[in-house]
Structure 1
Amino acid sequence: MPQSQQQSRILANDPLTAEVFRLTVYSPEIAVAAAPGQFVMVQVSSSLDPLLRRPFSIHSRGADGSISLLFKVVGRGTALLAKARPGDKIDLLGPFGRGFDLSAAEKPVCLIGGGMGIAPLLFLAQELPGRKHALLGARNRDELAPLAKFFADIGCAVQLATDDGSLGHHGFIPDLLDEVLPDVSQVCTCGPSPMMRGVARKCRAAEVSCQVSLETHMACGMGACLGCAVPGRDGSYVHVCKEGPVFNSEELPWEL
């Protein structure tokens, strides 16, 4: 799918928590080309400092040619991005990567997101027809509640889990999966690797297809810098930015 570079106008930069923001930009060329699971490379400053772009999953797509990005302030680049205001311009490049493949989905699909891994799953939920389950987890209520509302608002059957028990199940997201597995044909997950391994293990036992969206550091988004290379099951290395970020869980050398 072709990529484009756009000077995109910021429509909103909404704080969901003290650290998490939802950035909405008008970027019609990228919006029309994007598929769930893909990402964009963002130049977070109008100068060359910081030099490298930052990768962000496409969180949602609007009918008005907009896309939204979900990000957490964890360093200098995202701190600069948090200061962006409506009307500012931001340089986007994308969309990149291989997204989710739902061509074989016959029954409802289950979306499983942990922490900021929830980011790409809303766009996927928007595009899926019919019923879908959303199992979402985070450290506490403050982090999870604003994100869960987006899924509930578009009709997902939402179940929640928090590490501290302040919202939903007190424990981990894979604990909730057994209940919905008999009802689904596909599971799509993004989040911490231990969580995704647990999800993939349960899916293999139930003979349900599982797709995982990996999160890695990357500098170019095109497979040139090799910064996002991870081991594949056949002993070779795959580039998360090109062959991924979405993989079938069976493509990865995880001990399930």
Structure 2
Amino acid sequence: MKYDAQLFRLEKNEEIAKGIFDFVLYNPQLAEITKEGQFAHVKVGNKTLRRPISICDADNERIRLVFQVKGEGTEILSKAKVGDELDIICPLGHGFDIQKGKKYCLIGGGIGVPPMLYCAKTAENPVVITGFRNKDLVILQDDFKKYTDEVYLVTDDGTAGEKGFVTDVLKKKIDEVDEVCACGPMVMLKAIAEICKEKGKSCQVSLEERMGCGIGACLVCACKTRTGENGEEEYTHVCKKGPVYKAEEVVF
């Protein structure tokens, strides 16, 4: 895989929920080769380590990044101004395999919701399930509704949509779909994988791991998987082998 750092011009910076920012960045050369589920590695000020951010959407000229402020680095990034040029390595990682003719259920939890939007645009009228802690963190609902009539919203406390978890909805809809794609906390992905296994449905999961280099040179994002010869367990780099794996490959 080629690792190419280039400048992206920031065309939009909007806070779409408390502490969650929506960037649109212009760079036709790299935007047009971006695939669903890949990520961008963004240089932040004078920080040594870049920040990995899932690609929310892309077209032939622009990529869209939606991220949550979780520390000093993302706080600095959130203050970028329209017209600024950001140093970004992308697209990175192996993304989702969205095939024509299949009915997908796309599931996102928290900040794992944004990368599912690109999948929703590519898939054919998918079932979309999004989960958040509360109403203040709900994002991208109108965006998903551009691509499908089936968008389900759940919150832990019931302040928006239905009260409950994404797995509650999945159990009701899984017999209607061919495959499930999901991104979010590991505990959520494990529960989804178990439901899919029980029902005999294929499942792809995108892992959220802390990253250092973003290109497989360090060991920060190492994750135990069954990707060795004959399905043997080994540690793989989420940034390089993933972030998307078949659910049965992940040792939860």
Partner of 1:34: 34
Partner of 1:101: 97
Q: Is the 8 A contact 2:98 2:119 kept in 1?
A: no
Amino acid at match of 1:179: K
Give structure 1 stretches of 5+ with no counterpart.
none
Partner of 2:48: 51
Partner of 1:88: 84
Q: Per-residue deviation at 1:156?
A: 4.6
Q: Per-residue deviation at 1:142?
A: 2.0
Partner of 1:10: 10
Number of residue pairs aligned between Structure 1 and Structure 2 = 247
- What is the distance in 2 between the residues matched to 1:94 and 1:62? 14
Partner of 2:194: 201
Identify which of 72, 76, 90 aligns with 2:72: 76
**Relative to 1, partners in 2 of residues 1:106 and 1:62: Cα closer, same or farther, differing over 3 Å?**
closer
Q: Is the 8 A contact 1:106 1:185 kept in 2?
A: no
Q: Is the 8 A contact 1:110 1:184 kept in 2?
A: yes
- What is the distance in 2 between the residues matched to 1:107 and 1:82? 37
Amino acid at match of 1:135: I
- What is the distance in 2 between the residues matched to 1:30 and 1:225? 24
- What is the distance in 2 between the residues matched to 1:188 and 1:107? 12
Q: TM-score, normalised by structure 2?
A: 0.94
**Relative to 1, partners in 2 of residues 1:156 and 1:216: Cα closer, same or farther, differing over 3 Å?**
farther
- What is the distance in 2 between the residues matched to 1:237 and 1:122? 29
Amino acid at match of 1:50: K
Identify which of 164, 167, 179 aligns with 2:172: 179
Q: Once the two structures are aligned, what percentage of the paired residues are identical?
A: 41
Partner of 1:126: 121
Q: Is the 8 A contact 1:9 1:88 kept in 2?
A: yes
Q: TM-score, normalised by structure 1?
A: 0.93
Q: Is the 8 A contact 1:2 1:33 kept in 2?
A: no
- What is the distance in 1 between the residues matched to 2:209 and 2:245? 13
Partner of 2:240: 242
- What is the distance in 1 between the residues matched to 2:191 and 2:160? 21
SS of alignment partner, residue 153 of structure 1: coil
SS of alignment partner, residue 10 of structure 1: strand
Partner of 2:229: none
- What is the distance in 1 between the residues matched to 2:149 and 2:92? 27
Give structure 2 stretches of 5+ with no counterpart.
227-231
- What is the distance in 1 between the residues matched to 2:211 and 2:102? 35
SS of alignment partner, residue 145 of structure 2: helix
**Relative to 1, partners in 2 of residues 1:216 and 1:60: Cα closer, same or farther, differing over 3 Å?**
same
Amino acid at match of 1:68: R
**Which consecutive aligned stretches of 4+ in structure 1 deviate over 2 angstroms post-superposition?**
1-4, 153-156
Identify which of 144, 155, 178 aligns with 1:151: 144
